[in-house]
Structure 1
Amino acid sequence: MAYTFFRGDVKLKNRIRELREKKNLTLVELSDLLFKMFAIKISPDLLSKYERGDRKAKSNTLAGLTYIFGVPTDYLDGSKTIKSIIIDGVLDRLKMERIYFKVSEERGGYPVEKLKNYIEEEMKSDFITFLLSDAYEEKAGTDGESLNVRIIEAIRLISNAVLLRTDTDNFSPSGIFRHLIFDADSIGQEFESDNLDFSTISEEQRKTINEILPIIRKIREQTKTAFEQLAKDKNINPETGFERMIRERKSK
């Protein structure tokens, strides 16, 4: 099934008016929201000038608007499209996963254009297209996830898919095992994040997390070890070409 992508796949001066109208807010109502939620005093007339591009909003105002509309700042101000936000987000994640762009393919690197082609191909999948579409919003209704949340989820899913393609050289056994080991290692890590805000949950919930975390850690280690052992039994080295090169260089 084909879906129409969420509006905004061309660069604009900004998308404030479009997003305000999607939420059925008047300029007066948006002005009131900014003041009530963030103590940002912006008149309806000034908001109108922001919408027309006659004035540029300050960073704190943009931050408040992005929170209200649930979109990335660079989407709100028109500097990026959804597609470019996702491409940049995926490339950033690939860098974190040690996918090297400036290294030859023979040494385990990947040209940026090749990675971008992979990303664009994954963006065309039915689920990603639906996730970012107006149709998803209409189905989810007012209780649905914000565009910002959906973009983050799309970046995560596409990153995993592209990692599988890059690390596996078209689904080689070594890459598949590396992908599985990485997934096993990440089980439950969101509950151990330094950024986890425990102030938003109850004492009972904190107690439950603390009770379950040791079990999750044990499962994580057992699963990771099992995949590593299976790879060893199959005589498969789940490393990228670049990782092998670094390891061999250090051993000399």
Structure 2
Amino acid sequence: MTTEPRIRIVVLTYDGGQMTIDCLTSIRALDWPSDRLEVVLVDNGSLDDVAERVRREFPEVVVLEPLANLGFAGGCNLGIRHGVEGSLAEHFDHVALINNDATIESTWLRSMVAAMEDADDIGGVASKMLFADRFHGLTINVDGVEASDPGRALGVCLSAVRINEARDDDRLRFDEGFHGPVDPGRAGEEGQPVEHQAGSGKGRRAGQLGQGAGCFKLHQVSGSSQGPHQRRPDGCDGDGCGGGGLPQRP
């Protein structure tokens, strides 16, 4: 009998309210054994009652309250390393990062893991992201680079990361100098240490598209480069509850 990989899912929230509850509800419905899955919620200094609600409604979720907004990078680092002494690879095979303003399909994690484990040279994968409950399209002009072209990625919006002790991936961390999804001025410089290729949640190998896409459904898009205490009019901090980042290996 095949044992499923051990997964830790990290979710950040900052005054996320019902969005965070919806996100965790979708995680609870994942097609994955509960004894092989741990969900960690990092409350990045929220002023709402989301942490209390999660403890009451989702007793299986580990809730961390650093009592400050650590930003996206700092919050992810806290969630990834929480309770781990020594090698992360001794505890988990993969770490998945999910925005709290997103919900996921029940097959999302299984598709992501399948793409990840298809080849040893894939260090991280990203899933397809869709606007939730939107019937109209969005036009994006691209530069002609094919999504299926393999190669080194300077920056990706990662959804899952392989933890591989042999390749030192258990030292996974995000650069806490970044606030928000991408710092364009540092993308080239900071992207160089990443030695693995990035795969797609739809992929059979790094950079190749295939079947079984895992999907995010985004309820809003957020981001900020103004520091961890920048708040938008709707009350959501871009660093605390949205965006993505590129893990760095020291």
TM-score normalised by structure 1 residue count: 0.25
Report which of the two structures shows the higher radius of gyration computed on alpha carbons.
1
**Which is richer in strand?**
2
